[in-house]
Amino acid sequence: MTLAPFANEPTLELRRASVRAGLDEAMARVDATLPLRVPVMIGEDERFDGQLVSTDPGEPERVVADSAQGSASDVDAAVALARGGSLQWASRTAEERAQALVRAAAWMRERRLELAALEVRECAKPWPEADADVCEAIDFLEYYARGAIELAASPELVQVPGERNELRYVPRGVAAVVAPWNFPIAIPCGMTAGALATGNTVVLKPAEQSPGCALRIVQALRAGGVPPEAISLLPGEGDVGAALVRHRDVQTIAFTGSQPVGLEIIRAAAEVVPGQRYLKQVVAELGGKNCVIVDADADLDEAVPGIVSSAFIYAGQKCSAAARVLVHEAIADQLIDRVAGAVSVLDVGQADQLATEVPPVIERAAKERVDRYAQIARRDGRIAARAEPVPNRGWFCPPTVAVDLPAGSPVLEEEIFGPLLAIERVRDVEHACDIVDGLPFALTGGLFARDPSTVRYVRGRTPVGNLYINRGITGAMVGRQPFGGNRLSGNGTKAGGPDYLRHFVEPRALTENTMRHGLEV
């Protein structure tokens, strides 16, 4: 099978009236199916007994999915099935597995408007972000399909007369995929696709806020030809994830989520339980506190929109979102004025409205958390802008800019994951880099500066996983910006990058004596 070279799935041209009309029609079709009934899916078995409910963050009384909830015995059953099915799936060639993923991508492409509409409803992703998320899921399927074929072609080793050496990458076995809600199709699909492409079987535990989106991923993969025993779905809460990652027969854990949960998983994975025969491999993509440095010579016409969109699009709920701006004191007042002006006119509204820039946050607990940090910012510093009023139904938080916070403030140091941006003055770029260096997080970061020597200096110093220069700091594209954090933001795996699949395989070296001693050949 020859696949065309990878290319990113193009996002929709939302300026076209016909495209916008298509979105409305897709939303009407999706609304007519709500609430979605999401089963626990273990192989061919499906159990529907709604206990978990996902709701629209903008209209919390609208139930989007009525989902069954996995139990400890479901974890055992799903892992046993995945283990039993792993030899069969692993015995398929990389090309055969790639074909299944490419067909799953085609399934999603055909339904991309409905998938985006479901994200709008279930996670309040505004249309452009929801569409981009579906495109990213398609990209992961296509990219890892190709990557797995490349990985299956063994690398060249040194060969000497009388000896044949070979290095092969083989699947590790059962992979537990534990996902967050903020990229509700792309992230679980990406981790699952990475594991499946390389011949592992998967048990997927999606976030409790987005079981409906997870159902669509499993349907796409099965429609593409991934056998039921190779992909099971266990919707549920954190306890299901905790039981899954601790299971004796899980060999790989692909986790994306918050730092505390990630650290707990890494600890759990290090415990060898009775009967366990593998060291568990953990792919951990965790939270951040992403800083944007603005030097005195920065082009503010570029910096202001870059900062505002990075901090507030999707209500600051992208892991890559800007949380702190470190601006040279010579232009700090000017930057604060301009960012405050731009933030105060942001369009806060329902995710299904195309004009909306800032939707609600995901749930009540998130709103309460963001409001708490906003109060601390008001108490300890100064609020430079707050886009109020916001709609009174749904989990809306006013986009807020805080300044003059004291060093060590939790607003500066902790991941808030909402529409609250802190701006701080720094003496110079070196001072800003010292602050970035001092953080335990190192996910994304940005720099606005014109002097090439400043750019060189920051490139050389910054510890972050993804550094963006003179542009916004969100929107990593598969194959173009391999994505993932360093330090306590992740263990350095790069989703959508050339090395990602290596985390799902184990290398085996084989050496054969080819001298045929004493034999007539």
What are the catalytic residues? 285, 319
Short-list 422, 458, 464, 463, CA closest to 443: 464
Whole-number minimum distance, CB 381 to ligand NDP, in Å?
A: 23
Long-range contacts of 302-307 (CB under 8 A, 24+ apart): 302/448, 302/470, 302/471, 303/335, 303/448, 304/335, 304/338, 304/339, 304/342, 305/342, 305/472, 306/446, 306/448, 306/470, 306/471, 306/472, 306/473, 307/339, 307/421, 307/446, 307/448, 307/472
Whole-number minimum distance, CB 259 to ligand NDP, in Å?
A: 6
Exactly one of 122, 357, 415, 424 binds ligand NDP (CB under 6 A); that residue is 415
Exactly one of 59, 114, 264, 414 binds ligand NDP (CB under 6 A); that residue is 264
Give the residue nearest to ligand NDP (CB): 241
Q: Which is nearer to ligand NDP, 394 or 465 (CB)?
A: 465
b/e map 347-368, b = 16+ CB within 10 Å: ebbbbbeeebbbbbbbbeebbe
Q: Which is nearer to ligand NDP, 419 or 485 (CB)?
A: 485
Interacting span for ligand NDP (CB under 6 A) from 182-190, 299-307, 341-349, 386-394: 182-190
- Contact status, residue 42 vs residue 202, Cβ threshold 8 Å: no
Q: Which is nearer to ligand NDP, 373 or 417 (CB)?
A: 417
Q: Which is nearer to ligand NDP, 120 or 187 (CB)?
A: 187
Exactly one of 242, 266, 296, 383 binds ligand NDP (CB under 6 A); that residue is 242
Whole-number minimum distance, CB 115 to ligand NDP, in Å?
A: 18
Whole-number minimum distance, CB 355 to ligand NDP, in Å?
A: 26
Number of residues interacting with ligand NDP: please give it, by CB under 6 A. 32
Whole-number minimum distance, CB 285 to ligand NDP, in Å?
A: 4
Q: Does 181 bind ligand NDP (CB under 6 A)?
A: yes
Distance from C-alpha of 281 to C-alpha of 2, rounded to nearest angstrom: 31
Whole-number minimum distance, CB 445 to ligand NDP, in Å?
A: 13
Distance from C-alpha of 45 to C-alpha of 342, rounded to nearest angstrom: 52
Provide CB contacts within 8 A for 427, sequence distance 6+. 328, 329
Q: Does 256 bind ligand NDP (CB under 6 A)?
A: yes
Q: Count of H helices and E strands in the chain?
A: 15, 21
Short-list 493, 488, 489, 513, CA closest to 504: 493
Interacting span for ligand NDP (CB under 6 A) from 99-107, 203-211, 296-304, 509-517: 203-211
Q: Does 414 bind ligand NDP (CB under 6 A)?
A: no
Interacting span for ligand NDP (CB under 6 A) from 122-130, 273-281, 284-292, 330-338: 284-292
User: Judging by beta carbons within 10 Å of its beta carbon (0-12, 13-18, 19+), is residue 294 exposed, middle or buried?
Assistant: buried
3-class DSSP assignment, residue 256 = strand
Interacting span for ligand NDP (CB under 6 A) from 57-65, 172-180, 307-315, 373-381: 172-180
Distance from C-alpha of 331 to C-alpha of 327, rounded to nearest angstrom: 7
Give the sign of the dihedral formed by CA 255, CA 239, CA 129, CA 40: positive
Interacting span for ligand NDP (CB under 6 A) from 91-99, 250-258, 305-313, 372-380: 250-258
Exactly one of 199, 287, 349, 418 binds ligand NDP (CB under 6 A); that residue is 287
Q: What angle do CA 232, 238, 242 make, to 5 degrees?
A: 75
The DSSP code for 319 is T
Exactly one of 285, 295, 357, 363 binds ligand NDP (CB under 6 A); that residue is 285
Q: Which is nearer to ligand NDP, 8 or 154 (CB)?
A: 8
Interacting span for ligand NDP (CB under 6 A) from 9-17, 62-70, 204-212, 218-226: 204-212
Exactly one of 207, 311, 325, 416 binds ligand NDP (CB under 6 A); that residue is 207
Provide CB contacts within 8 A for 153, sequence distance 6+. none
Exactly one of 95, 237, 302, 414 binds ligand NDP (CB under 6 A); that residue is 237
Q: Does 265 bind ligand NDP (CB under 6 A)?
A: yes
Q: Does 180 bind ligand NDP (CB under 6 A)?
A: yes
Q: Does 241 bind ligand NDP (CB under 6 A)?
A: yes
Token output for 297: 């010579």
Q: Does 238 bind ligand NDP (CB under 6 A)?
A: yes
User: Judging by beta carbons within 10 Å of its beta carbon (0-12, 13-18, 19+), is residue 262 exposed, middle or buried?
Assistant: buried
Residues in 438-497 at the binding interface with ligand NDP, rule: CB under 6 A: 443, 484-485, 490
Relative orientation angle of helices 112-123 and 127-152, to the nearest 10 degrees: 120
Q: Does 349 bind ligand NDP (CB under 6 A)?
A: no
Whole-number minimum distance, CB 262 to ligand NDP, in Å?
A: 7
Interacting span for ligand NDP (CB under 6 A) from 38-46, 137-145, 233-241, 270-278: 233-241
Number of residues in the chain? 521
Whole-number minimum distance, CB 428 to ligand NDP, in Å?
A: 29
Tell me the pairing of strands 231-233 and 290-294.
unpaired
Tell me the pairing of strands 322-328 and 290-294.
parallel
Q: Does 208 bind ligand NDP (CB under 6 A)?
A: yes
User: Judging by beta carbons within 10 Å of its beta carbon (0-12, 13-18, 19+), is residue 6 exposed, middle or buried?
Assistant: middle
Q: Does 266 bind ligand NDP (CB under 6 A)?
A: no
Instruction: Please tell me the number of Cα atoms within 13 Å of 343 on its side-chain side.
Output: 32
CB-CB neighbours of 146 under 10 Å: 19
Q: Does 258 bind ligand NDP (CB under 6 A)?
A: yes
Where do contacts with ligand NDP occur on this chain (CB under 6 A)?
178-183, 187, 205, 207-208, 237-238, 241-242, 245, 256-258, 261, 264-265, 285-288, 319, 415, 417, 443, 484-485, 490
